Amino acid sequence: MRHPEPHIFHLTPETLGDWCAQRKWPKFRAKQILEWVYEKGVADPHAMSNLAKRERDQLAAEMTFLSGDTLSHQSASDGTQKLLIQWTDAGTSPLPIVGQSANDPARQTECVMIPSLDRTPGGTPTRRTACISSQVGCPVGCKFCASGLGGLDGNLSAGRIVEQVWRLARLPGVERISNIVFMGMGEPLANFASVIHAVRTIAAPWGMGIGARKITISTVGLPKAIERLAEELELPVTLALSLHAPNDDLRRKLIPWSSYTTIEELLGACRKWFDKTGREITLEYILLGGVNDRPQHAEELAEVASTLRANVNLIRYNEVEGMPFERPATGDVRRFQEILTQRGVNAHIRASRGRDIAAACGQLRHESNKAESGA
């Protein structure tokens, strides 16, 4: 099915205002439409009761509101919820999403809503984090990640990135999303223009209204793109560097894309980021049992981290069927953290969430793909 252009989640007050002006609608219509979508959570133009009937019909015929279909919605026992979304045409993607059939996994991405374990006295999670995708598939090909298995199938448009947040905000029990992480499928800095357009909409008071400081862009590291982000994005977002190994040899074995750069070059770009933005970097480090979780790796990582203003997030690997990596032992994770802390590095162990719903990145799409192919 082909959707009409434009896609509402791609528009700003200015571009929607121009669209309305071309149709000779009153000036305030753009504001009203955006209020319906972002404040009231309504994506059906027929329900926008303060618009004229003729305008509602025209909106429905000439603009796309929801450009994806939810193929699956899973809820884990810890409150994590995950969506597998099927994008039904190329839409406004700068690089068309490939795939022929309506159920082609090459058109699917995942997004996850993760409530924090801390609760207010009333029992409400203190944080709700939306983990969203920026591409369909991923070009980076990390050896431990299901998203990288089939390579890159296309970029998501800015509108489709925002649509994921909007959908997650409307899941049962979610009153408000407080944090955004670009840690789903894809390398955000390889889809630069769409990601920064989406970040502006997510942070805008007229859009999702989520403070830029609560938005984290996570990258495996493209030094030039990190510098460009510091220059071009006026918003104080957080940058997370997915390091995953403390030396180039091991990193290149785990992350094929890292053969294009060195850790030293990445650290140089991160220092420029700090100089320009004044914001500390988060180093993400996924612990793989017996591979990068040994004490000597912790010592090396401490050396790397000490050259930056950085925090380290340690993530315990969630096993993916068919992948040759194991979840690290609890004792090894603690020892790793202790070594970092003793060396003066601020290191946190990130809790694994949603383990009972295949919440590791790309796992749901991978399983849908296997089911489609009968594997």
**Residue with Cβ nearer ligand SF4 (94 or 256):** 256
Closest CA to 167 of 109, 217, 99: 109
* Distance from C-alpha of 242 to C-alpha of 220, rounded to nearest angstrom: 5
Tell me the CA end-to-end span of the chain in Å, nearest whole number.
27
Helix and strand numbers, DSSP H then E, in the chain = 11, 12
**Residue with Cβ nearer ligand SF4 (16 or 152):** 152
**Residue with Cβ nearer ligand SF4 (28 or 260):** 260
**Residue with Cβ nearer ligand SF4 (59 or 83):** 83
Q: What strands, in cross-sheet order, belong to the sheet with 179-182?
A: 68-75, 81-87, 108-115, 128-131, 179-182, 215-219, 238-242, 281-287, 310-316, 346-350
Of the candidates 111, 138, 142, 361, the residue annotated as catalytic is 361
Residue keyed to tokens 């955006």? 34
Closest CA to 7 of 42, 31, 43, 40: 43
| DSSP notation for 217-252 | EEES--HHHHHHHHHH--S--EEEEE--SSSHHHHH
Tally Cβ neighbours within 10 Å of residue 256: 16
* Distance from C-alpha of 374 to C-alpha of 268, rounded to nearest angstrom: 47
Closest distance to ligand SF4 from the beta carbon of 218 (Å): 8
Q: Which residues of this protein are in contact with ligand SF4, per CB under 6 A?
A: 138, 140-142, 145, 147-148, 185-187, 220, 361
Closest distance to ligand SF4 from the beta carbon of 155 (Å): 13
**Residue with Cβ nearer ligand SF4 (17 or 141):** 141
Closest distance to ligand SF4 from the beta carbon of 57 (Å): 41
**Residue with Cβ nearer ligand SF4 (148 or 246):** 148
Cβ atoms of 4 and 63 closer than 8 Å: yes
CA 281 to centroid of chain Cα atoms: 17
Cβ atoms of 123 and 174 closer than 8 Å: no
Q: Please say if 187 is a catalytic residue.
A: no
CA 359 to centroid of chain Cα atoms: 13
Closest distance to ligand SF4 from the beta carbon of 51 (Å): 40
Closest distance to ligand SF4 from the beta carbon of 187 (Å): 5
Closest distance to ligand SF4 from the beta carbon of 129 (Å): 16
- Kindly give, in sequence order, each residue whose CB lies less than 8 Å from that of residue 211, ignoring residues fewer than 6 positions away: 203
Of the candidates 110, 163, 187, 367, the residue annotated as catalytic is 110
Q: Please say if 227 is a catalytic residue.
A: no
Instruction: Return the active site residues.
Output: 110, 361
